[in-house]
Each structure stands twice: as C-alpha cells, then as structure tokens.
Structure 1
Amino acid sequence: MGYPSKNNRRPFEAASKAAHHHIVNDPEVQRLMSRIHKPPRAEEIPLGTITVTFESPKDNQIEAIIAVDGGYTEAILEKDFPSRTMHFLQFGALLFKQEDLAKLNASAFIAPEDMAKLKNINRLKLALPTKNVRFQDENTLKGSVLKAIYEFFIRSTLAEDQSLIDTLAWFVFRRYKQNQRTEDDKRWNLATNPLSSFENSILLVEQNMDRNYTFPCPETGGRIYLTDVFRLHEVIDEDFGATGIMGYLVNVVEHLIIIHIIRQLLRYQPDTLKKVFFIKDGPTGFFGQTARMHEPMRDLINWLLDKHNIVLAGLEKSGAFVDHAQSIQQNLEPGKVLVLTDDYIYRYILPGPGDPHRPYASTSNYGHKVIFKARNGQMYVVSIPVRELKKQPTIDDFPNLQVILSNVEALHCDMYDSALFPVALVNKLVSLSAYPSQRILQKFASHSTS
C-alpha cells in the first residue's frame, strides 16, 4: 500500500508496478490456485429438465404496488481529518397503481411526467455519526450511533399517528396476534447487552418496557433501547467506526417500512391488503448481526398468509444469484421458472456442500429464490416468502407465485437490466449519488459541525 501525500509537499508514493511477478511465480500461490473449485459453466447445466413453465393467472387481484428502497452516502466532516465521518441515509416508499401502469407500459426511460403519476408516501432521513465523532451528550461513538438509530425510529411515522418504533414493538412482540400470543411472544432474548462490560445476554420482557420503548439494565442502571434488538452494537468499534453496520441497517429499515405500511393497512383497510403487491429491493432475509429478525418476520408472514394472503417479494439486483441468472440467460427459455433448491445452489452457484440438516440460509432468510425469465427476455431473481424453508422446495411451496411473477413481468422497465418500473422510480427518489449528492452533504456536514 502506497503512502499518500497529506500536505502536497512530498510526492505521492504509489504501489510498485513490478512486484506482482513475485506472486505469479510463487510455487505456493500456484499450488493454491490449482486447488480452486468453480461451479460448472452455464452450458453444462441441464436447465430443460429442472424448470417449470410460467402460467399467467386468469385473475390478477393486484391493484397497487408499493416499492421500498433506501440508500446512503458517506461524508467527511473535516477536509484535513478524512477519517472523521458521518453517513447520511434516505429511505422511501412509493405507491404505484395498476391503472397508471397501463399508460406507462414498456417505458424505456423515466420522465418527469411519469413521476407525477406516483403518490409519494414519504421519505425518511437519518444522519449517523460513524467514525471519530460522537454526540455532545454521549461519551462514546457506540452510544451515539445507538441513540441516533433509536431517535430515528421514535420520530419516523410515515405521516401516520404511530412511529416506526411502535411498529417494531408490534412486530417483535407479535402484538398482531392479540389475545392469542404466548408468553414467549412477549419476550425477546438479546444475545448481548449493549450496556454490559461483559457482553452478557439479557431478556427483554414486554411488560418491563416503558412508554419510551426502553428497558432497565440490571448491570448499569441505564436504559436499553428497543432498537438494540438489531444487535448493531456488536459491530461498532471505537477505533474502526460504525461503517460496517450500514448494509444491515438499511435492510432492517426497509423491512420495517414495509411492516409499518402493512400494519396501517390492517388498521384501516384490511380487505385491501391482498390487493397490494409489496416489493423490497434485495432478498427476503436479515443478515449479519440482524439475522435473528428473520424469526418474527417468518411468524408475521405465516400469520398474514393465513389471514390476508399477503403478496410480497424481494427483487435482487446484484450478487452471486444475479450473476448466475445472467450466465444462464441464453440457455433458459422465455416464460420459464427455475426454483433454486439446495442441490442446485451448491452445485452451480455457491462453492460448498451446505448444511446437510438445514436449508440454505435458514438462519437468515424467510423466503426461497426463483430465477424467472419473462416472456420479453428479461431475467429476474425473485425472493418470495414461504411458510417453511426446505432443502428441496417445489413450485407449490411458493404462495402466490404466479401472481407475483405476472406482476413482475408487467412492471418491467427497459432503463436498466432486469429492472422494475416502481423500483427504478423509488431508487431515483432516495438514492444518494457520489456526485453531486455526496459533495453537497459533505459541505453541509462540515458547516453544521464547525
């Protein structure tokens, strides 16, 4: 790694341009490279025998689509101290009616008049200290980050009379079950107490939660935030910062926005819930420190399927599964659906045998994936919630699969590869570009903290 020039008084020391030959010619490196295993090439996969045909349903009950997405960017607080940073996050949810889709079908670009056809539900914004900075009323970076997230959930309402943190309590403690809750539903075992010096676990009991959604800490006498159930404190380091939580946090907030909207529909228009198609950007799962949140999500999905036939899917835009979908595009016939079983995933996509006793990603996912080639040739990796994860799922294990794929096909947008119109639109509204958004936010952060 080269030396940077701090004050422009010395030349920038770049890395060597000739040292690579030591790696290329090293016998140990060559032996290691010969041991690398790669899955078979796309043309070697017998797709014709393991796909099913997409059959568009006669009746499409979906009348509206709600797409949720989020983004973030980093800002340096001081030009001469580049390791002092904050992150700015923005989330959005858009309502898109099917009747508008008919007028915008096959749009190749997003025009201003297209935006007018959408109803912006709301935007949520969060400024988060992430490295070498803290709040004035907190002693540590970790305490500052946890408080910022807690306050964000407290104040975010999406223009409703209840906040995201109230929805989090409704979700974690299964309040939607009302008088059918068990005692286990009313408590949450937090693996690590964020206030504990010894990282002890702590049981959060709903009846001990105060009106501010905090719990007493038996070790310190302090207050534990309900948002600490995300366990983000475990990956915050006073020296290296909190940058590592960003992907986990964005995924959690996107999920909570969807859950919040579902909860409001249940309160005011429960009969319309089965007519709404919820689209999340990314897979149906929770990852890293937040992985255990998949358990209450799976419970909620099962309850919603029983009561309201919920229609929800995650659309993946990058990663190993998307790369694989693109590699088999030429060999997969239009209108075909490939259900990704454990055998297929570990034979053709991921380099491992998997757990012989548990399905793929059973500790983080609440849905299975399919690869769908629409009749217009577009490829999609669609994650769909299921009642139970299986090692060898079949097409019958996916609730509302044909309805979901029918709407995915109808929502196509030619602006990007495998894009959906509402997802592309919400991304336009909430994403923060490297330029000029990042530069503007950097100047805003610098002036606001000076």
Structure 2
Amino acid sequence: MPYKAGKRLPSERASRLGHLEILKSPLVKELVQNFECSSYTFSSNPTVWQEIPSGGKILRIVFGVDGSVQSIVSDSPPFKKLAFVKTALLRIDHSSISKIDKESPHPYLLRDLLSDSALYHATVFPLKNVSISQKNTYHAVREIIFESLKKDLDGEVLKTLKWIAYEKWEDREKCLPFFECPHCEKNVATLPYDAEVGKCPDCGQDLFITDMLGFHLDMAPDMAPDSVAIAYMNIHETLLLFTGIRYFWETRRDILSNCLFVKDGPLSIRAQYSKLVAPIRRFLSYTRDNGTIVHVIGQEKSGNFFEHLELIERSAPVNCLFVPDNQYIKEEIHSRPNTGAPYGKDTNYGAKVFVKLDNLHKMVLNIPTGEFIENPTISDLLGVENIFATLPSILSNKYEGALLPIELANGIASLSTYPSAQILKIFAETKIA
C-alpha cells in the first residue's frame, strides 16, 4: 500500500512498472492462456418464471420509507468523527400519485405533496474523539440512541419499538428476552413488560430498552465504527415503517388493509439486531390469521440479488415473477453449497421475488410470508394480488425500475456526499471546535 499525503509531502504513487513483473511470470502467462470466456449457465436450478397473479385491488394509500448516513471527519488531528443519520416516512394517496408526471414531476407539485404528507427524523453520533457530558463514546451513543427514539417524532418510534419487543398486539404481558448487559456483559439483562428503562438484575446498572438491540456489542469504550450508525439507520427505517402499521392497527384496521408500505432495501435485520425479526413475523402471521392482511414490500436496488436479476431477466417473459427457493439462493446467487441453516432463517421477514413487469421495469422485491418458509411460493406471499395490482400505479419512469414512494422518500432522507457532507462538516466543526 502506498503512503498517503501528509501536510508537508505528497502521497506515494504506485509504480507504473510494477505490472511488468506480473506479465513476465510463467505461471501467470499459463493461467491467463487457459482462461476461456463462458456465458452464464445455471448449475442445476432453472428459473421458474410464473405469471403475476391478477384480480387484486389497488391499495389507495402508499407509504415510503428511506434513510441515509453521512460520516464527517475533521481535517486535523485528533480527527474528530461524527455520523449524521436521517430517515423519512412519506404518505401519498392514489389521487395524488395520479397527478404526478412519472417522467418529469413538477417541483411545485412535489413540494406541496411532501409538505403535507412527509416527516423525517435526524440524529448524530460521536464516533471518535468527541465527548458528551463527560461520558465515553460507548455510553454516549447508548443514551443518544434511546433519547433519539424517545424525543423525536413525539416518541412514536419508541412506542413502536416497545410494541414490537413486547408483542403488544396480543392480550398477554411479556418480558423482554434476556440480552447482554452493556455494563457487566452478562446475558442476564431484561426489562419487565412495557418498561423503557430499568436495572440489570446482576450489576444494578441502568438499562435502556434500546440496549436489547445490541448496539453496544459493536463499540469500544472510546470509539464506535460507522457500522453502528448504519445499523441505527436500518433499525429506524424498520421502526418508522411499522409506526404507520401500528397506528392503523390500533385505530383503523379497515384503513390498514388498504395501505401499501414500501421500504427502500431488503426486509431483513442482521446480526444481533435481528431480535426484532421473530416478533415482526409473528405479528404479520397474527394479522393474517385475524383477517387483516398487512401489505409490505422492500425493494433492493443493489447487491447480489439485483446483479443476479441483470443476468436472468433477459430471457424472462414480461408480466412474470420468480420466487427463488433456498437451494437456488445459496448455489446460484451466493455461490456456496446448500448446507447449514436455510437462507434468511434468523434475519429475513420477507421472501425474495424477482419481477419483470415489462422490458423497462424489472426489480427485486421482498414480500413477507408471515412465519418463515424455507421454500416459499407465490401463494405464501402476503397480499400478493393487491400488491401487484397497485405496483403499476406507483412506477416511476425517472430511473430504472424505480418506485415513486421510494424515490420521493429518498429525496427527503438523502444526505449526498457533496454538498451535504461539506455543509454538515462546517456545522459540526463550529459546534465542537
């Protein structure tokens, strides 16, 4: 690796002659000569495209959720580092969607739409060489996470976390499952039903309900990685999405069944944060069993599944979808043997669905099945007929395979590298200089 530029001297440049030794290597020459260009072939798992189910109703109210993270590092030692996080929830009805030009939406129309139906959340984390109230980074971030959920958006997102964690949709009181205490590091911490704060039964130190998610497991005493801010954004997106679901479930279930909730990214929560996955699955199963279907989709715009769609959609018929099973995902998409636990068993609350509406609109969607199903079929996808009846009305022609709710939510939540990063950097440096 070359030396980086300092204050006095420039960076080291990579040698422009270094590649010559590689080209002279007999082994490299032999290997390159034996390489052959081959087209993509499936090992033993053909794609089975099926016609998109019809007969559903158009869902009249659509919610879109998106988030963004931007890290800021000071220009001089000790290189203070902050991470800004922003998430947004957008609500649009079918009549408003029909007024929007899908190729060149009028900015004033979008302004009026967003001012009446969008809300956002923002917070900031000290990641390195920044202190707050004499606390180290570890405990400062813990408190910021709890306070961010409690104070912003009138505490509705924290209510949703409690609603999911304690499974309040059922008529029974349930304690939190045991989790690792952020103080004594013993797996004995819990909270009684509906509590936001409490004490560790072993060491007696303060606990927050947000500690059960496990953010502290990724932090050192005086430093936190960018992954903590990214995980917070992903968790908050999910909680924001389910805040809308919770509200209608508690107040107007008849309206809930006429809503579509659209999330940017997969319907999954990974690593220690996946504690929320099981109760989310149980809720979606519970609503289905009680006669109310909750319509939720996630759209993946990058990653392995999106890249795989680029390979298989060329020969796919239009107006069709493909639901890959566990073996297909492991062998064809992740290029690993079909052994071990099923894909997504502990992390996903939505099944992967490849969709080709026409030659211009292809996408990777996630649609819940309720309880985990290793090899889902179309009939397992919750509300699939209504989702695909609604999908054509929320397409955007501005980007490839774009969905209007995500596009608009991204416009609210996005923190671009430039100029947003520079603005945040100037703001941060004036506050913590």
TM over 0.5: yes
- Maintained 8 Å contact 1:142/1:236: yes
Q: 1:218 Cα shift?
A: 3.6
- Give CA-to-partner distance per residue, 1:287-315, whole Å, 9 cap, x none: 12212221111112212223321111111
One-letter amino acid matched to 2:130: V
Q: Choose the corresponding residue for 2:65, options 52, 65, 68.
A: 68
- Maintained 8 Å contact 1:372/1:380: yes
Q: Choose the corresponding residue for 1:156, options 142, 152, 155.
A: 152
- Maintained 8 Å contact 2:98/2:393: no
Q: 1:102 Cα shift?
A: 1.9
2: CA distance between counterparts of 1:423 and 1:75?
A: 25
Q: In the alignment, what sits opposite 1:14?
A: 13
2: CA distance between counterparts of 1:64 and 1:348?
A: 36
Unaligned runs of 5+ in 2: none
1: CA distance between counterparts of 2:202 and 2:19?
A: 53
Q: Choose the corresponding residue for 2:361, options 371, 378, 394.
A: 378
Q: In the alignment, what sits opposite 2:269?
A: 286
Q: In the alignment, what sits opposite 2:318?
A: 334
- Give CA-to-partner distance per residue, 1:308-345, whole Å, 9 cap, x none: 21111111111000111122222111101111111221
- Maintained 8 Å contact 1:56/1:406: yes
Task: Find the residue that maps to 1:177 and give its secondary structure.
Answer: coil
Q: What TM-score do you get using the length of structure 2 for normalisation?
A: 0.90
Q: In the alignment, what sits opposite 1:346?
A: 330
Q: Choose the corresponding residue for 2:182, options 194, 198, 211.
A: 194
- Maintained 8 Å contact 1:65/1:97: yes
2: CA distance between counterparts of 1:404 and 1:98?
A: 13
One-letter amino acid matched to 1:214: V
Q: How many residues align?
A: 430
- Maintained 8 Å contact 2:182/2:216: yes
- Maintained 8 Å contact 1:354/1:360: no
Q: In the alignment, what sits opposite 2:141?
A: 145
- Give CA-to-partner distance per residue, 1:398-427, whole Å, 9 cap, x none: 121122123223211121111101110110
Q: In the alignment, what sits opposite 1:2?
A: 2
The worse-fitting range, judged by mean Cα deviation, of 21-30 and 309-318 is 21-30
- Give CA-to-partner distance per residue, 1:104-149, whole Å, 9 cap, x none: 26334563323323433311110111122221231x2111111111
- Maintained 8 Å contact 1:66/1:276: yes
Distance 1:66-1:202 versus aligned 2 partners, 3 A rule: same
One-letter amino acid matched to 1:381: V
The worse-fitting range, judged by mean Cα deviation, of 232-241 and 369-378 is 232-241
One-letter amino acid matched to 2:306: V
2: CA distance between counterparts of 1:128 and 1:233?
A: 13
Q: In the alignment, what sits opposite 1:390?
A: 373
Counterpart check, 1:54 vs 2:49: no
One-letter amino acid matched to 1:4: K
Q: 1:30 Cα shift?
A: 9.4
1:21-420 alignment, distance < 5 Å: 41-42=39-40, 50-60=48-58, 62-76=59-73, 78-81=74-77, 83-104=79-100, 106-109=102-105, 111-118=107-114, 119-138=116-135, 140-157=136-153, 162-179=155-172, 181=173, 185-190=174-179, 192-196=180-184, 199-207=185-193, 213-238=196-221, 241-307=224-290, 308-356=292-340, 358-375=341-358, 377-420=360-403
- Maintained 8 Å contact 1:334/1:377: no
Distance 1:436-1:343 versus aligned 2 partners, 3 A rule: same
- Give CA-to-partner distance per residue, 1:229-253, whole Å, 9 cap, x none: 1111111134663212232211110
Task: Find the residue that maps to 1:292 and give its secondary structure.
Answer: helix
One-letter amino acid matched to 2:392: E
Q: 1:103 Cα shift?
A: 2.3
Q: 1:33 Cα shift?
A: 10
2: CA distance between counterparts of 1:24 and 1:132?
A: 46
2: CA distance between counterparts of 1:368 and 1:315?
A: 11
Task: Find the residue that maps to 1:206 and give its secondary structure.
Answer: coil
- Give the superposed CA RMSD: 2.9
- Maintained 8 Å contact 2:191/2:209: no
One-letter amino acid matched to 1:14: R
One-letter amino acid matched to 1:321: F
Task: Find the residue that maps to 1:129 and give its secondary structure.
Answer: strand
Question: Identity, % of aligned pairs?
Answer: 24
2: CA distance between counterparts of 1:313 and 1:404?
A: 8
One-letter amino acid matched to 1:186: C
Counterpart check, 1:435 vs 2:418: yes
- Give CA-to-partner distance per residue, 1:216-268, whole Å, 9 cap, x none: 02444320111011111111134663212232211110111112122222233
- Maintained 8 Å contact 1:67/1:423: yes
The worse-fitting range, judged by mean Cα deviation, of 83-92 and 339-348 is 339-348
- Maintained 8 Å contact 1:105/1:410: no
- Give CA-to-partner distance per residue, 1:179-211, whole Å, 9 cap, x none: 4x5xxx323111x21112xx321241324x75x
Distance 1:165-1:26 versus aligned 2 partners, 3 A rule: farther
- Maintained 8 Å contact 1:373/1:380: yes
Q: What TM-score do you get using the length of structure 1 for normalisation?
A: 0.87
- Maintained 8 Å contact 2:56/2:388: no
One-letter amino acid matched to 1:57: G
